[in-house]
Structure 1
């Protein structure tokens, strides 16, 4: 039992630590928590708080070490274990986080809110089936909120149960008519037709939303319903009306999520000017790795990466890991730089010459190979990994990198009409979109020029027009033989966590080729802006 003096000191330190954290005095908070941890070394909550403060001070590795220490000696405190799991994911310790989740799964009668938290974290790890099971247990236990029902619908959608997803979303809108998340997903799940559409309901809801409300949350909801109206009118081929709705939606989203052109250009420039990582690396001289091989799919978002993923993962020796950010997390861990958008990326690039790339590759494999589920290969499909090509090639020289290439205007228009929510700010303004695309094209050209053979270009138009020939080339590049199932991705029953999950469960088609021409007049400023950069237009060419 602590002495009265020790208890007083402990209480004082806890109060002082809280004051420092509340006022964001991180250095003082760290010193105070370290003193408190010395006084109460068995208090896991103090160590978790210390890990969080250390992370905020830019010391990712130290934060991860503290969390791993706690994970090895977890108390019987479900909420604390959940917090540790969430933070372990943030610092790139996925295996330890899954260990925490496995421990929580043993709880005999967990409260519904704990089931919901586990479902969200499993979902963030790409574990769709476990997330769905956990959330359905929570719903059966009485959880009843629009957010959780929306997540349930998404999990049903990603699992291929479109009918049940629609039923859940329709119930959401019946009970919460202004729930924009549900309206937006629902119109995307089915093609709207003249005889079956939600246009009247969406327009009625828009009439009820205050037009001049400046609250960001209210503005976001209006954007969602404008998007839903666009999707319906686009399906009905009422293009001018549809464009007006999309323009209003994206104007709001651009206002809420301004694009950082200066930061994006700075990252591209830094990657291009980054000293060559060289061939004589620790990674290439290290012992051959064991276990499944990652296959990276990179490119612009909405360039056909999901279709290629579904075709490849229909192969008997290939699993899809989905859109995971594990390579970024491990790279940040190696550079000891917490993620911080452009600033964090620039700091990682500055430290690139000092990174142990053999260890980077080993860490990535250790944290991800479970995703192969017994198959020889697993797909890491993250378009943004186009920025990681040099790092991937250095750390994992054995891993194929497939670069999906699509017509620039088709790609950009597909982004412009995607409504990604409060992410991807480049996608809500035509000039921002052109700028972002030019950075992508410039970087892609640089990789080809300075790392020849580092990635294989795969043309979207060629893939959908001549899938057998194109996919055979892709599989040969990956060391695999073509299987007939790869040409029938609509039969692939595995979950797919992407907004286009309903579309990619269809058979291969060419409807996405030239889709932008329905809005050629409105997209003329985009076409001119992209044409300012000659390298940008090169990416509509066939596979290299």
Structure 2
């Protein structure tokens, strides 16, 4: 084939692939894209298209191959490489994604929007110091959007620069008063006081927003401002008014993100069946090299972040934060497209076909860099409580710590958290009670079926009697006691959580019984929990 005919042929194939994709003729489009890559293996745009097409058809493993093949022939096109990184992260190829990010650092004088894109990718994989540095570079270079300002403020917060974070978010709300995302971030930054709060501005903005939103965007923005009003009034001790704002917020969010109790029950049933279908007795840990992960699991808002800060204050431990790597690798080996509860249900249904040794090996390969030279690293993703039996099969040498907190404190803390478009159960009291019941049922099963799988750590005991509880936790992980673990407020490492102000304080008991400020309003929750116990 001559150069001219080759060029024409590729042009024709690209046009055909476009037409096939637009027409929904996916097998034909896949064949055209594969033919293009045989003749032009350096065509990264085509590799990304093929990966997306395979992903769209439900082939997670196959969708990874075009990306990995393209790694060693990347073009000098920063935006295409950013697209590559996004897809690699989604498929659990974090090491390859970091290599691509490192490659982008070699680009001379990249445009500001490219620098910001890199910052978002570093943020996505939990490299918060690097993400902050890149975001500040992008802002200095002229990026001026509300989204960039919010990212800048959050990263300042995660890195412990609270005063600067507040200023950035305050300016964001002044400049873009309709930008709801900044409001929750700002009020969560620190406790609001009578002399320092944003209540008047927040209420004024609420009056400008449509009382009856006509689309999901308006509804979400209004919910964010209602949450910010709730948090402020709650901090000020004006509990009746605060509850009214929270009820309005959660009614909007429940409408946007309804809870499906039958799906949650199906997931719990499937996870229990999956653990019973195979021999779940602990297996002697296979020989391996490198740092050991320590998993912290439990309900969100149960004290998992505090426990993470305590452990990562130890000289032999660092925190990897809330990483989804085990979830990603489990789905990858099962070849199931991640789709929250629906995806997990499919994984559980395929459990007898999953190679858990491969899950463990892939997990370690993609996460051990996070230990930063230390022998242990903490994987603190509360939702991994659903995956305990899978973790035991894949990584039998990894300690698992299960945070336990009073059900009313836990449920109310979730109900008032405003998690955005995830966690639909947190926006309605009946849904919250139902979800907690499923959680409790699964935990009981883990203790019965896998009695030595995880150590319960009671939140009340941890904050009231830290001097006796912390040594017990450290011993379970094979660690000696160190004084620094009793003073987690001295831990200066970045922390990505809504409760940043609290975790940078000394251990305290203020979180115990906080729900009682709303005892009357929460009576339906208390009754539902009692019925489900």
Residue 541 of structure 1 corresponds to: none
Report the secondary structure of 1:502's partner residue: helix
Query: Does the aligned pair in 1 maintain the 2:285–2:396 contact within 8 Å?
Result: no
Query: By how many angstroms is 1:36 displaced?
Result: 2.4
Matched residue count: 532
Question: 1:59 & 1:215 partners in 2: Cα distance?
Answer: 33
Query: Does the aligned pair in 1 maintain the 2:280–2:450 contact within 8 Å?
Result: no
Question: 1:317 & 1:34 partners in 2: Cα distance?
Answer: 48
Change (3 A) 1:54 1:211: same
Residue 326 of structure 2 corresponds to: 327
Residue 466 of structure 1 corresponds to: 465
Query: By how many angstroms is 1:280 displaced?
Result: 7.5
Query: Does the aligned pair in 2 maintain the 1:27–1:57 contact within 8 Å?
Result: no
Report the secondary structure of 1:390's partner residue: helix
Q: TM-score, normalised by structure 2?
A: 0.97
The alignment status of 1:116 with 2:110, answered yes or no, reads no
Question: 2:323 & 2:71 partners in 1: Cα distance?
Answer: 23
Runs of 5+ unmatched residues, structure 1:
535-544
Question: 1:164 & 1:97 partners in 2: Cα distance?
Answer: 30
Query: By how many angstroms is 1:285 displaced?
Result: 6.7
Change (3 A) 1:198 1:284: same
Residue 426 of structure 1 corresponds to: 425
The alignment status of 1:101 with 2:101, answered yes or no, reads yes
Question: 2:164 & 2:428 partners in 1: Cα distance?
Answer: 34
Question: 1:231 & 1:472 partners in 2: Cα distance?
Answer: 35
Query: Does the aligned pair in 1 maintain the 2:489–2:505 contact within 8 Å?
Result: yes
Query: Does the aligned pair in 2 maintain the 1:490–1:505 contact within 8 Å?
Result: yes
Q: TM-score, normalised by structure 1?
A: 0.95
Residue 154 of structure 1 corresponds to: 154
The alignment status of 1:305 with 2:304, answered yes or no, reads yes
Tell me the alpha carbon deviations over residues 345-373 of structure 1, each in whole angstroms, 9 at most, x when there is no partner: 12211221222222211111111011011
Question: 2:362 & 2:273 partners in 1: Cα distance?
Answer: 26
Change (3 A) 1:157 1:291: same
Question: 1:341 & 1:58 partners in 2: Cα distance?
Answer: 14
Deviates more, 1:59-68 or 1:36-45: 36-45
Report the secondary structure of 1:404's partner residue: strand
Question: 1:44 & 1:213 partners in 2: Cα distance?
Answer: 42
Query: By how many angstroms is 1:4 displaced?
Result: 4.8
Change (3 A) 1:500 1:88: same
Residue 134 of structure 1 corresponds to: 134
Query: Does the aligned pair in 2 maintain the 1:226–1:248 contact within 8 Å?
Result: yes
Query: Does the aligned pair in 1 maintain the 2:42–2:74 contact within 8 Å?
Result: no
Question: 1:88 & 1:451 partners in 2: Cα distance?
Answer: 34
Question: 2:96 & 2:195 partners in 1: Cα distance?
Answer: 52
The alignment status of 1:512 with 2:516, answered yes or no, reads no
Change (3 A) 1:341 1:28: farther
Question: 1:279 & 1:247 partners in 2: Cα distance?
Answer: 43
For the aligned residues, what is the CA RMSD? 1.5
Query: By how many angstroms is 1:42 displaced?
Result: 3.1
Query: Does the aligned pair in 1 maintain the 2:280–2:389 contact within 8 Å?
Result: no
Change (3 A) 1:255 1:393: same
Tell me the alpha carbon deviations over residues 230-285 of structure 1, each in whole angstroms, 9 at most, x when there is no partner: 1111111111110000000000011111112222111111011113432579x747
Question: 1:249 & 1:29 partners in 2: Cα distance?
Answer: 44
Question: 1:483 & 1:22 partners in 2: Cα distance?
Answer: 61
Query: By how many angstroms is 1:392 displaced?
Result: 0.5
Residue 78 of structure 2 corresponds to: 78
Report the secondary structure of 1:516's partner residue: helix
Residue 225 of structure 1 corresponds to: 225
Question: 2:281 & 2:140 partners in 1: Cα distance?
Answer: 57
Where do 1:9-408 residues align within 5 Å? 9-274=9-274, 275-278=276-279, 284=284, 286=286, 288-408=287-407
Change (3 A) 1:285 1:171: closer
Query: By how many angstroms is 1:25 displaced?
Result: 3.6
Question: 1:250 & 1:24 partners in 2: Cα distance?
Answer: 38
Question: 1:82 & 1:213 partners in 2: Cα distance?
Answer: 35
Question: 1:410 & 1:243 partners in 2: Cα distance?
Answer: 16
Tell me the alpha carbon deviations over residues 75-123 of structure 1, each in whole angstroms, 9 at most, x when there is no partner: 2222221111111111111101100000001111111111111100100
Report the secondary structure of 1:92's partner residue: coil
Report the secondary structure of 1:389's partner residue: helix
Runs of 5+ unmatched residues, structure 2:
none
Question: 1:280 & 1:13 partners in 2: Cα distance?
Answer: 54
